[in-house]
A and B are shown apart, each in its own frame.
Chain A
Amino acid sequence: MMSYVAHDETELIPPLEVEEEELYHPKTFIGKYIWCQDAKVIAIQYTITAMGVGLLALVLSGIMRLQLGFPNSFSFITPGAYLQFVTMHGMIMVVYLLTAIFLGGFGNYLIPLMVGARDMVFPYANMLSYWIYLAAVLLLVASLFVPGGSTGAGWTLYPPQAIVEGTPGAGLGIILMLLSLMLFIIGFTMGGLNYVVTVLQARTRGMTLMRLPLTIWGILMATILALLAFPALFVSAVMMLLDATLGTSFFMPAISVAGEMLDYQGGSPVLFQHLFWFFGHPEVYIVALPAFGIVSDLIAVNARKNIFGYRMMVWAILIIGGLSFVVWAHHMYVSGMNPYFGFFFATTTLIIAIPTALKVYNWVLTLWRGNIRFTVPMLFAIGFLVTFVNGGLTGLFLGNVPVDVPLSDTMFVVAHFHMVMAVAPIMVVFGGLYHWYPKVTGRMLDPTLGKIHFWVTFIGSYSIYFPMHYLGILGVPRRYYSIENISFIPESAHTLNVQITIAALIVGVVQLVFVYNLIRSYFKGEPAGPNPWEATTLEWQTADTPPRHGNFGPELPIVYRWAYDYSVPGAVLDYIPQNQPPDSLPARETDDNPQAPPS
């Protein structure tokens, strides 16, 4: 006698509340694959574009490292060009790669499939979202080729230096950068509204919010953060654009450049910093929360255990999202704020550590005594845990005002944020790609190449960023073209820089293995079948792999349980799909005559 234990019993199949919307079915090739309204195709378009521009940013970081490791060996890396590479690398990685791939890529693919919807609620706006994003990317890339080159103001684009003569790309470069950001935000808003409304209003029968996979919770909360945080960036971009083109003085104080007074007066550079970081700090969580969500699912699937403390995980995501709006000025301890502000923002910053640590404990407790399968996605998930804890701990240093002040603008900061919001989320991006690639293409990625990719990336990232903490404590400044002939920097710092550069180049090159794996497996990969990881969530229960337009067959699935029924005692298999009814309920009969809504 076997018995299925549902996480929460559902005796009744809830009645269908709204009739299904008719999907827009394109007939031409262009309508199906180019101007496509299917969220899955849009997701692939987003992912490929983001990875392409991300590769560009990876190359830029390699060039930066060449200069730092082997100063003055490469004539094309001038001080100005170096700053431009730093800026473009940062901006691309944070906004155009990570934000776009998590929300536009994973969000578009997984939200309709995981909540049991045919598509996003507004497929047309969703399509526009991608094309506007592409335009933003093209504008960004175009700024590399305009006279004066792209902006070299650092990814934070602080005025006055971003728009005054003497900064690389102070003319067209910064203008294109700002226009590109504004386009990105407009495009994102179109997609973001779709993601939120689809999760809140277009779930299938039986899919309550507390049965959503954590992936969806992470993406939902990140999208809400983005919808509320990007406006501040949009506004500051508009104002800086006016400062740069019309000569207004929003952010520009009276300032003299090269001995000459400029026409500006009375603006407030600190205002920009407040607006920027009101966007910039939630942006960290826009990148981190989807990673939290996806990694929870990767760990649960591969540990064959339910996620530990599901409700706590959900509330932690919500609390982190809320808190992320009241910590922004911890990026500005050295900007000249009232010390009481520093006290407030340090306190809120440290409070965020509580829900975050809670999540880490829950991930570790999910692993504890699990039946762990060391698949490639699982390796990346564990890699995320390690790098994230590491980066999180240095966050405690930098959140405290007295510790932050001497460490500000040193390599310590670079090491911290790369650990916590570059390496950690990108580990999850890789893990997610290895995990869902079989659903997207119907073929597995090669696990041997995957393991090479993981170990070189993981160990390589550590040998890049771990020594940087040491450099930072020595006082090696960030964004410096050269640290030669600075008396307090010892010889060991230069030796370390060489080692870091070599590690960085190796990590850069090994990403080509991943790209090769993606392309090769598309044609020659092992056929995956519908559910290669034996996972419970709805995207693995589709009629076709890859899923067709409309995602599910003629009938939408009905959800009877949460997303984490792994290794349920007494069950036949060690996983029970979300749409498998409890014993007492016959599978499909009730579908034909859904109960009339109560009048």
Chain B
Amino acid sequence: MADTMVGSNLSAVRPGLATVVEDWSSDQRAFKNVTWGKAMMWIFLVSDTFIFGSFLIAYMTVRMSTTVPWPNPSEVFALTLFGKELPLILIAIMTFVLISSSGTMALAVNYGYRKKRITTFLLLMMTALLGATFVGMQAFEWTKLIVEEGVRPWGNPMGAAQFGATFFMITGFHGTHVSIGVIFLVIVAIKVIRGDLDSEKPGFMTGRKGRYEIVETMGLYWHFVDLVWVFIFAFFYLW
């Protein structure tokens, strides 16, 4: 029982719209039992959603308004493995890797709240490793597109120039998000293994006490980056 209750005061939670109104009419906090860091991350993610939303809408607009035919994604992103040309195989593996990393992240959050220091550390590092693998495969994909197929941001031999432009810009922006995530995963993992979160050691620059909630805050970001990838995957590779 104790294990499942850690991290939230479930007795205070009642269902229904009435409780929402009650919370928002109350003093001190509009979101009860939500820490500052978590609230901040959620609001940041809403803002970031608008960034990726604008990118994807811009992509759809240029794709629909260009007069030159759009390159066929199943051919462009095909990979020859064992003498066979397999469409979308690399991207399927990349997606699998990134979704798996969401799984390890979720486990890390759970073990973090149980204060299982070593397990949390290992799961965080595994998440970081999967994320780094994803970025590595993305680098491989970019190299293949640039070197073998001659795709450039300003043009490509297969069709509309906007294909390369939008592809590099949006996957590049997503890849940057994943890379930043990997860096912060490693930082959080180090904090976990050093025991900073158990001893509530103040942060180096912020002076804030370390708490296991930062694992969850990190997790929110990571799941968001995965979710964005699902949309990029659908719009770029399946359309």
Residues of A within 8 A of B (CB): 14, 16-18, 21-24, 121-124, 189, 192-194, 196-197, 200-211, 227-232, 234-236, 238-239, 242, 246-250, 263, 265-268, 271, 275, 278, 559, 599
User: Nearest chain B CB to A186's CB is how many angstroms away?
Assistant: 11
**CB-CB < 8 A to A278: which residues of B?**
54
B44-A189 in contact (CB<8A): yes
Instruction: Kindly list chain B residues whose C-beta atoms are within 8 Å of the C-beta of A123.
Output: 206
Instruction: Identify B27's interface contact among A208, A236, A263, A271, CB under 8 A.
Output: A208
* Cβ-defined contact, B154 with A239, below 8 A: no
- Residues in chain B near residue A192, CB distance under 8 A: 47
| 28 residue pairs bridging A and B, Cβ less than 8 Å apart | A17-B32, A18-B29, A22-B209, A23-B207, A123-B206, A193-B40, A193-B47, A196-B43, A201-B31, A201-B34, A205-B27, A209-B24, A227-B46, A228-B47, A229-B50, A234-B51, A235-B54, A235-B55, A236-B54, A238-B173, A242-B153, A246-B154, A247-B154, A249-B162, A268-B61, A271-B61, A271-B62, A599-B11
B199-219: which have CB < 8 Å to A?
202, 205-209
B88 within 8 A of A: no
Q: How far is the CA of A572 from the CA of B230 in the complex (A)?
A: 64
Instruction: Report yes or no: B165 in contact with A197, Cβ–Cβ below 8 A.
Output: no
B161 interface neighbour in A203, A236, A239, A266, Cβ under 8 Å: A266
Contacts A22-B209, A266-B162 given; does A209 touch B169 at CB 8 Å? no
Does B28 belong to the interface (CB within 8 Å)? yes
Q: How far is the CB of B81 from chain A (nearest CB, A)?
A: 32
* Complex partner residue of A121 from B24, B40, B68, CB under 8 angstroms: B40
Residue of B nearest to A13 (CB): B27
Which residue from chain A places its CB closest to the CB of B53 in the assembled complex?
A231
- Residues of B within 8 Å of A235, CB to CB, are 51, 54-55, 58
How many Å from the CB of A28 to the closest CB on chain B? 14
Judging by beta carbons under 8 Å apart, are A231 and B39 in contact?
no
State in angstroms the CA–CA spacing of A193 and B217 once bound together: 14
Q: Which residues of B contact A211 (CB under 8 A)?
A: 27
Contact at B27–A559, with CB atoms within 8 Å? yes
Q: Give complex CA distance A250, B162 in Å.
A: 7
Max chain A Cβ within 10 angstroms of own Cβ: one of B68, B164, B207, B209: B207
* Bound CA–CA A278/B51 (angstroms): 12
The answer to whether A266 touches B62 (Cβ under 8 A) is yes
Roughly how many angstroms separate A363 CA and B51 CA in the complex, as a whole number? 37
Establish whether residues B153 and A201, one from each chain, have CB atoms under 8 Å apart when the complex forms. no
6 more CB-based (< 8 A) A-B contacts, given A23-B207, A124-B205? A14-B27, A14-B28, A22-B207, A204-B27, A250-B62, A278-B54
From B11, B46, B165, A248 is in contact (CB under 8 Å) with: B165
Render B78-103 as a binary contact track against A, CB cut-off 8 A, 1 for contact: 00000000000000000000000000
* For the complex of A and B, 8 pairs with smallest distance between CB atoms: A231-B50, A24-B207, A248-B165, A235-B54, A247-B154, A231-B51, A266-B66, A124-B206
Alpha-carbon distance between A238 and B172 when the two chains are bound, in angstroms: 12
A196: chain B residues at CB < 8 Å are: 43
Q: Determine how close the nearest CB of chain B comes to the CB of A140; give it in whole angstroms.
A: 22
Distance of B184 from chain A, by nearest CB (Å): 14
Q: Does B4 contact A (CB under 8 A)?
A: no
User: If A189-B47, A210-B25, A599-B11 touch, does A200 touch B31 (CB 8 Å cutoff)?
Assistant: yes
Interface-centre pick from B46, B54, B66, B207 (highest chain A CB count, 10 A): B54
Verify A207–B50 contact, CB threshold 8 A: no
B58 lies within 8 A of A250 (CB): yes
| Size of B's binding interface in residues, CB under 8 A | 47
Contact of A208 with B29 at beta-carbon distance under 8 Å, contacts A24-B207, A228-B46, A263-B154 already known = no
- Please pick, from B25, B50, B162, B207, the residue contacting A267 in the complex, using a CB distance under 8 A: B162
Chain B, Cβ-Cβ closest to A226? B47
Q: A22–B200 Cα gap in the complex (Å)?
A: 12
**Residue B239 CB within 8 A of the other chain:** no
* Cα of A205 to Cα of B28 in the assembled complex, Å: 6
Chain B: which residue is nearest A233 at the CB level? B54
Q: Nearest Cβ distance between residue A306 and chain B, in whole angstroms?
A: 20
Cβ–Cβ contact B58 & A21, under 8 A: no
Chain A, residue nearest B51 (CB): A231
CA A197 to CA B24, docked complex, whole Å: 14
Name the CB-closest residue of B to A267: B62
For A121, what are the chain B residues with a Cβ–Cβ distance below 8 Å? Answer: 36, 40
Across-interface contacts of B62 in A (CB, < 8 A): 250, 266-268, 271
List chain A residues, Cβ under 8 A from B36: 121-122, 197, 201-202
* Minimal beta-carbon separation of A454 from chain B (angstroms): 38
| B146 to A: closest C-beta gap in Å | 13
Give chain A nearest CB distance to B65 CB in angstroms.
Answer: 5
**Inside 8 A of B11's CB, which chain A residues have their CB?**
599
- In the complex the two chains form, is A201's CB within 8 Å of B39's CB? yes
* CB closest residue in chain A, given B169: A242
How distant is A66 from chain B, measured CB to nearest CB, in Å? 40
Please pick, from A228, A236, A247, the residue contacting B153 in the complex, using a CB distance under 8 A: A247
Q: Report B-chain residues with C-beta under 8 Å of the C-beta of A210.
A: 25
A224 — nearest CB in chain B belongs to which residue? Answer: B43
Query: Which B52-73 residues have a C-beta within 8 angstroms of A?
Result: 53-55, 58, 61-62, 65-68
The CA-CA distance from A21 to B48 in the complex, in Å, is 27
B129 at interface by CB-CB < 8 Å: no
Is B183 positioned at the interface, with any CB of A under 8 Å from its CB?
Answer: no
> CB-defined interface of B9-50 with A at 8 Å, one 1/0 digit per residue?
001000000000000111111111010100110011011101
Q: Is the CB of A232 within 8 A of B50?
A: yes
Instruction: Name the B residues within 8 Å of A207 (CB-CB).
Output: 27-28
B34, chain A: closest CB distance, angstroms = 7
Nearest CB of A to B169, in Å: 6
Q: Which of B44, B50, B154 sits near A249, CB closer than 8 Å?
A: B154
Smallest CB–CB gap between B116 and chain A, Å?
Answer: 25
Would you call A200 and B40 a contact (CB within 8 A)? no
Quick one: which of A203, A208, A249, A599 has the most chain B CB within 10 A? Answer: A249
User: Does A227 contact B27, Cβ atoms closer than 8 Å?
Assistant: no
| Closest A residue, CB atoms, query B206 | A124
**Partner of B43 from A14, A227, A229, A230 at Cβ < 8 Å:** A227
A418 to B207, CA, bound (A): 45
Output the least CB separation between B15 and chain A (Å): 18
Q: Any chain A CB within 8 A of the CB of B137? A: no
Q: B232 at interface (Cβ–Cβ under 8 A)?
A: no
B160 lies within 8 A of chain A by Cβ: yes
Interface centre among B27, B39, B47, B209 (most CB of A within 10 A): B27
A290 to chain B, nearest CB (A): 18
- Nearest chain B CB to A262 CB, angstrom units: 11
What is the CB-to-nearest-CB distance from A169 to chain B, in angstroms, rounded to a whole number? 22
Residues of B within 8 Å of A200, CB to CB, are: 29-31, 39
Query: Considering the chains assembled together, what is the distance between the CA atoms of A124 and B205 in angstroms?
Result: 7
In the complex, A206 Cα to B28 Cα: how many Å?
7
A268–B66 alpha-carbon span in the complex (Å)? 8
Determine whether the beta carbon of B40 is less than 8 Å from that of A206: no
Whether the pair B154, A248 counts as a contact (CB closer than 8 A) is: yes
Which residues in A have their C-beta under 8 angstroms from that of B54? 231-232, 234-236, 275, 278
Q: A200-B39, A271-B62, A599-B11 are in contact. Are A24 and B206 (CB under 8 A)?
A: yes
B28 x A122 contact (CB < 8 A) = no
Closest to A17 in B: B28
Output the least CB separation between B132 and chain A (Å).
Answer: 24
B residues near A202, Cβ cutoff 8 Å = 28-29, 36
A residues less than 8 Å from B205 (CB atoms)? 124
Taking a contact as CB atoms under 8 Å apart, the answer to whether A266 and B206 are in contact is no
